[in-house]
Amino acid sequence: MANRRASITDLAKTLGLSPSTISRALSNHDDVSEATKLRVRQLADELHYKPNQLAAGLRRGRSNTVGILVPHITGDFFPKVVHGIATEAAKLGFNVMICQSNEDVRQEQLNIDLLLNAQVEGILVSVANTTDNFRHFEDVRQQNIPLVFFDRVMEDFQGSNVSSVVFDDYQGAYQVVSHLIEQGCTRIAHFSGPLHLNINKYRHQAYLDALTAHGLPIDDDLMAFFELNQKNGAHAMRQLLKLRQRPDGVFSSNDLSAVGALQVVKAHRLRVPQDVAIVGFSNEMFTSLTEPMLSTVDQRSEQMGKAAVQLLQKMLKSGPKSQGPPKPIVLKPKLLIRESSQRR
């Protein structure tokens, strides 16, 4: 017993009582004598017994637990979203189970199975960058478990129990490119992740549309597609600086690759923003610590987490017989202009 969690059955065997009597004693039922209650509580303390809240919830027909599945818990964005989820969930009386896919669709599939086996009441998920189909979400839909995508979503996956909380990535990216053009940039490079992900697709399309709207040409040599991280951002920037006409602005779809670009530009003794203006996306904590400070787009991460839980709660209250899922929530962008792009 020392190597595992004590159970009601353990208490019952030790005291020679039935498990139901142990349960009633721990719940302070009137039909159990005070002497028996005292014996049960003393043994429970001695064995460090803790009630299984999940099992108790399931006996009542609900687990009181929601599952969270994120690509990773590094950086600043997803931890802040999870913090928002956990804070709001606690207010609403929910426990949370947190899983991470590590950007691996196979791990994402295993995590979905884990959460379903734990009989969570709903699932909040941001898909991995390798997720290109929604087969593993089908069981969630079929079981009518509320499913709320946030940030990264499967746009073609719909159902009466499926909704989403997203950021207006298109508008945020359009603001970035327009800002760079207003600062005098005419050759703006773009770093993007895989375009099957909604966030990259909309940010890239906004980049193209903003250039066209301002009468600037679209140059494939200025676009780089890769896993968005510092190392790859630095590599892409080195390649761009080899062009006969180097870029005078960079719009990166995340802050890590923007920092990689910033480091390479400075290493080549070019000035930021005078020679190359740089803007990232996400407002990671380190963006205010770089030299110069990095312009970026605030994704309102904590608000996204809170909104996702509120949407899930609304879906739980409406039940499986509702006419349809609540409308997706779209959060508005906020461009943070700092030293890395402010020329004028």
| Domain 63-167+301-330, architecture per CATH | 3-Layer(aba) Sandwich (3.40)
CATH 3.40.50.2300 domain position(s) in the chain: 63-167+301-330, 169-299
Average pLDDT over residues 129-133: 89
Structure confidence at residue 52 as a pLDDT band (50, 70, 90): low
What lies within 8 Å, CB to CB, of 69 at 6+ separation is: 99, 100, 101, 108, 111, 112, 115, 123, 124, 125, 126
- DSSP-derived secondary structure for 55-83: HHHHHTT---EEEEEES-S-SSHHHHHHH
- pLDDT score of 62 more than 90: no
Give the mean pLDDT of 143-169: 93
Q: What is the pLDDT of residue 26?
A: 83
Angstrom distance (rounded) from CA 287 to CA 295:
7
Mean pLDDT for the stretch of residues 232-259: 97
> Quick one: pLDDT band at residue 55, thresholds 50, 70, 90?
low
Rounded to whole angstroms, the Cα distance separating 133 from 122 reads 20
* Strand pairing class (329-331; 162-167): parallel
Two tokens, residue 121: 């009441």
Confidence of residue 8 (pLDDT cuts 50, 70, 90): confident
CATH of domain 169-299: 3.40.50.2300
Q: Assess contact for 321 and 216: CB atoms under 8 A.
A: no
